[in-house]
Structure 1
Amino acid sequence: MARPIWTGVLTFGLVTLPVGLYTATEDHTVHFHQLQRGTSDRIRNKRVNERTGKEVGGDRIVKGYEIDEGEYVVVEPEELEEISPGRSKVIDLAGFVDLREVEPVYFDRTYYVGPRGKEYVKVYELMRAALDRADKAGIATLTMRGKEYLTALRAQPRVLVLHTLHWADEVRDPASVVPDLPERRTSSDSKELRTAEQLIDALTIEWNPDEYHDTYEERVLKLVAAKRKGEEVVGEAEPPEATNVIDLMEALSRSVEQSRSRGRKGGDGKGAVGKTRAGSGKTRAAAGKTQAGSGKTRTAAAKKEPAGKKKSAGRKGAAGRKESEDLASLSKAELQKRASAAGVAGRSKMTRDQLVKALAGQAA
């Protein structure tokens, strides 16, 4: 079991619950060492006194707050701890807000909150269930590792989760950062806006984070493996050109039709596409009756060709159709995984439909 990175108490009115915070995420980024070109010699950073040029040990380094150029006030860790007695060990829920009112830009890091002992599980679960039913988040401040955080406590199905938030003065005004922001809003009755809304509706899917993975990390590892073997490295395709304003309506309309066409063919089986597939149940049932009713016709036609040849072709065709149907129900991320395992050439540049055809062709 992981060890908590912080321990203290969570207060909820007059209720006090001993808890621990656990890191909820982990970094899978591919890391490189710095080397001197042409050698395998590592390059390392050192803490050096800029006046003497000599290296300084960690135990001889203190914190200094600059009040004027070259003039510092030295502050010891113990002194920082002394000015926040008790507060560094308490998460005091000051109030509750609708989590949907908190803009995502305020969120920073996420931690799991766990009870510190089996004797506190009942109180913990009561608090989790109450937050879950209320669909709200508790707002509190927390002092951890020498820094005070604004936090939001909310419930997941099995665990309480604490999000550290940025302070209001840490969030930039977008107008002061982003150039060329639109000065007016798009008219609510414009044809382009209605078509864009139709496209969003047609592409609506269910949120399933397991379907997504870091493809850049995979490409980096493949690059390393290819260079190790002395193989040629193929670069990625250039991004598509920006849509011209004149062609915007045409691009939107074609996108909507394309997404609806995929939905009729089975698509990825989620959201609006899922409804299309579910709604076609009667059609498939009717088709099943038609196929059953045409059994005599197929039997009669079978007599016109050698039995062995027909059965073989029939089995192969049925298997191919089933494989295509199965592939059509997969997401693009899943298709990419299969294509990678099957060694399909040029798969990184293929569209979803092209991946389905390529994999179905290999199966056939």
Structure 2
Amino acid sequence: MPRPLWTGAISFGLVTIPVKVVSATQDHSIHFRQVHLEDLGRVRTKKVCELDGEALSQDEIGKGYERPGGETVPITDEELDQMPLPTAKAIEIVAFVDADSIDPIRISDSYYLATDGQVAAKPYTLLRRALERSDKVAIAKFAWHNRERLGLLRVREGAIVLHSMRWPDEIRNPESLAPRQVEVDEDEIERAVQLTDTMALDSISQFRDAYRDALEELLTAKSEGKELPEPAEDGERKQGQVLDLMAALNASVAAAKESRESGGGEATVHEMRPRKKAAPSKKTAASKKTAASKKTAAQKTGGKKTAAAKKTTAKRTAKKRSAS
């Protein structure tokens, strides 16, 4: 079992269930280090005091809150732990609601709740069975990482899962982001629904992180001195072109059917590419043309002046020779 992140208890009415909080997810991302390009030595980030410029060790660093006037108020972990919060060491269930009533945008990190000792086995099972039979999820409050949080408890494959949730005032209003009203034909809507039916899957467990696989292949090739993998073909659609919506839907439905019949199902990941430099405007092009014309005229004028000067000098030289 992974190392517990937090220990406490679920407060379920008068029932207390000792639990350990274990992360329900794993980070499989590939992480890079900052290195000195000349010798590949690792570059670390030092914690430096802004007042005296000295690098500090971890035991010399504490917490402080900067007030609006600029004053910094020091605070210790002991003072935070002693705050009078009923949820300081408990996940207190405050309500049960239908799972469909929870907006997914409010759900944040996920954790498994493991029993902490044999005494927790029966009440843990009781809560799990109650959640399964009622088809509801539990809403709870708990304190963690120096703040009180809202949580959601549900059952997944026999284990109780705790989802950290965002408070209502932490969700931005998307009203200003919605596009202006446009007319959509009923045939286009029906075709779009047909596309969703064609692309429907019973499970998404087959999807993989293609970028991570490609990155591992690149790193392996570099470390072993092999030839680097060939770049993927660019199937990116040109930006800015106007599409026939119905034609695009028909083509999408046909492609989805073909992909399903051939056993495919992986989504295509499009690489973000830098914008191309914009073409020079007519005004800029005209300015450059005028400047080039002036430069050419100046060169011609300069050439004429140089030829005249040479001719005058030759005449003077001839006269001096005749006089002598």
TM-score of the two chains, using structure 1 as the length reference: 0.67
Matches within 5 A, 1:285-304: none
Q: Indicate if the aligned counterparts of 1:18 and 1:120 stay in contact, CA closer than 8 A.
A: yes
Which SS does the other structure have where 2:32 is aligned?
Answer: coil
CA distance in 2, matches of 1:111, 1:186: 44
Q: Deviations over 1:162-211 (max 9, x none)?
A: 000111222112235x4xx3233765x621111000110111111142x1
CA distance in 2, matches of 1:193, 1:110: 36
What residue number does 1:322 align with?
none
- Structure 2: unaligned runs, 5 residues or longer: 272-324
Q: Indicate if the aligned counterparts of 2:141 and 2:149 stay in contact, CA closer than 8 A.
A: yes
What residue number does 1:202 align with?
198
Structure 1 residue 247: Cα displacement? 1.1
Structure 1 residue 86: Cα displacement? 4.5
The number of residue pairs the alignment matches comes to 268
- Structure 1: unaligned runs, 5 residues or longer: 268-327, 337-347, 350-364
Quick one: which of 238, 241, 246 aligns to 1:249?
246
Which SS does the other structure have where 2:143 is aligned?
Answer: strand
Q: Which has the larger radius of gyration?
A: 2
Structure 1 residue 22: Cα displacement? 0.7
What residue number does 2:299 align with?
none
What residue number does 1:24 align with?
24
Structure 1 residue 146: Cα displacement? 1.7
Which SS does the other structure have where 2:25 is aligned?
Answer: coil
Q: Deviations over 1:54-109 (max 9, x none)?
A: 11122122211111454211111111111135521111111011122212211110
Letter in 2 for 1:76: T
Quick one: which of 218, 222, 230 aligns to 1:223?
218
CA distance in 2, matches of 1:63, 1:161: 31
From the superposition, tell whether residues 214 and 260 of structure 1 become closer, same or farther in structure 2 (CA, over 3 Å): closer
Q: Indicate if the aligned counterparts of 1:132 and 1:156 stay in contact, CA closer than 8 A.
A: no
What residue number does 2:296 align with?
none
Which SS does the other structure have where 1:140 is aligned?
Answer: strand
What residue number does 2:231 align with?
235
Matches within 5 A, 1:161-200: 161-176=161-176, 178=177, 181-184=178-181, 187=184, 190-200=186-196
Structure with more contact order per residue of length (Cα contacts < 8 Å, sep ≥ 6)? 2
Q: Which has the higher helix share?
A: 1
From the superposition, tell whether residues 148 and 250 of structure 1 become closer, same or farther in structure 2 (CA, over 3 Å): same
Structure 1 residue 329: Cα displacement? 4.2
The alignment yields a C-alpha RMSD, in angstroms, of: 2.5
Which SS does the other structure have where 2:133 is aligned?
Answer: helix
Structure 1 residue 242: Cα displacement? 5.3
CA distance in 2, matches of 1:119, 1:82: 27
Percent identical among aligned pairs is 35
Matches within 5 A, 1:112-191: 112-176=112-176, 178=177, 181-184=178-181, 187=184, 190-191=186-187
TM-score of the two chains, using structure 2 as the length reference: 0.75
Which SS does the other structure have where 2:33 is aligned?
Answer: coil
Which SS does the other structure have where 2:132 is aligned?
Answer: helix
Structure 1 residue 115: Cα displacement? 1.6
